[in-house]
Structure 1
Amino acid sequence: MQVAAHASLSGNDNVPEPAKAVDLSRYVGKWYEFARYENLFEKNCEGVTADYEKRDDGLIKVVNTCHEGSVSGPTRAIEGKAKVVPNSRDAKLKVSFFGPFYVGKYWVLDHADDYSWSIVGEPTGIFLWILTRDAKPSEALATELITRATKLGYDASMIRRTKH
């Protein structure tokens, strides 16, 4: 997901380090945003997806897409690139959407062993994304993911479910 420098106040004042190593060959592909902390660059976005693809130069192509206003609204997409932070077990990435500078931090804080879901944040606690491989996860999984995010220190009252 895209990470911006400015947003609202933190929903987690003590973001933990990522819990597990990430196998990027399993992490790439299409993710559906199940939920997020609201942010300016996703304002009025529904049907949000993130597509990750390994590039020949070792970077990762990132394409974030949303539908403005509703799941059937106009499509808006942005393409960027990410690079792995050394010695992070591939769980921390730096992301760039605007030029050569890698300013956004993208931490895979937790993920399913089968890569069916992922909880992504960054060190300030301002941003949170909960991603799933299915556009509409079961209510049991949805509850589990919000509980997991809460155990990572995130304020559940700030979590906004994305419509698909």
Structure 2
Amino acid sequence: MKIAIKSIFAGTALALSGLAISIATQAQTVTPQAVDKVDIQRYAGQWHEIAHLPMYFQRKCVANTKAQYTVNPDKTMTVLNSCSTKDGGKISSEGVAYSQNEGNSKLKVSFLPKGLRWMPFTKGHYWVLRIDPEYKVALVGGPSDKYLWILSRDAQIDDATYQSYLNTAKQYGYDVEKLIRTPQQP
């Protein structure tokens, strides 16, 4: 009987310690949150991709991934993504971003042809999760951990800045071990 009680006590203690570790781990991550406000005029222009989580639609990109944002008269943004391919070619895709909040920090983006953009469930989340005050480096993701980009106005960023943005991504629960650094060549 003593052995059974000790086993129950040990099992309970082990379960409680596992629960405590699980709670502590969950407490270190928070749900991704977009910044309060993005000045879309300042955000417009060219951004270089520094790193991204792997995704199907970027499977052919091997270097020089860039995004060009242009503000349209209706306050949407034209998005022109481009990259270099393994064979030395270049591919690009044009889409449009629609603001989803007053602060313009939560966007929905569609790369479908113009005539099909009205279709539901065809727009992806594009949330600005962090941006420096000078609009030089940005962390972009969404409400899930599926998509993540680190963007910069310059083709390269220093390691301290990169690590700082990685830490923000980790706090939001992104698996930064899966991030792919994007080569930017002249």
TM-score range, shorter chain: 0.7 to 0.9
For CA contacts below 8 A with separation 6 or more, give which structure has more relative contact order: 1
Larger helix fraction of residues: 2
Q: What secondary structure is seen at the aligned counterpart in 2 of 1:150? A: helix
Tell me which structure has the larger Cα radius of gyration.
2
Q: 1:65 to 1:15 in 2, by over 3 A?
A: farther
Specify which of 71, 80, 92 is matched with residue 77 of structure 1: 92
**CA contact 2:106–2:128 (8 Å) conserved in 1:** yes
Equivalent pairs, count: 149
3-state SS in 1 of match to 2:84: strand
Bigger share in strand: 1
**Alignment match, 2:53:** 37
CA-CA distance at 1:139 after TM superposition? 2.2
1:22 to 38, 41, 51: 38
1:145 aligns with 2:165: yes
Return the TM-score normalized by structure 2: 0.74
Query: CA offset at residue 146 of structure 1?
Result: 1.6
> What residue number does 1:97 align with?
111
Identity of aligned residues (%): 34
Per the TM alignment, residue 159 of structure 1 is displaced from its structure 2 partner at its CA by 1.0
Which 4+ runs in 1 deviate beyond 4 A? none
**TM-score for the superposition, normalised by structure 1:** 0.84
Gaps of 5+ in 2: 1-28
Counterpart selection for 2:137 from 101, 110, 117: 117
CA distance in 1, matches of 2:31, 2:111: 23
Query: What is the rounded CA distance, in whole Å, between the counterparts of 2:175 and 2:100 in structure 1?
Result: 27
Partner of 2:65: 48
> Structure 1: where are the runs of 5+ without partners?
1-12
Distance 1:127 1:69 in 2: 23
* Separation in structure 2 between the aligned mates of residue 82 and residue 39 of structure 1, nearest angstrom: 19
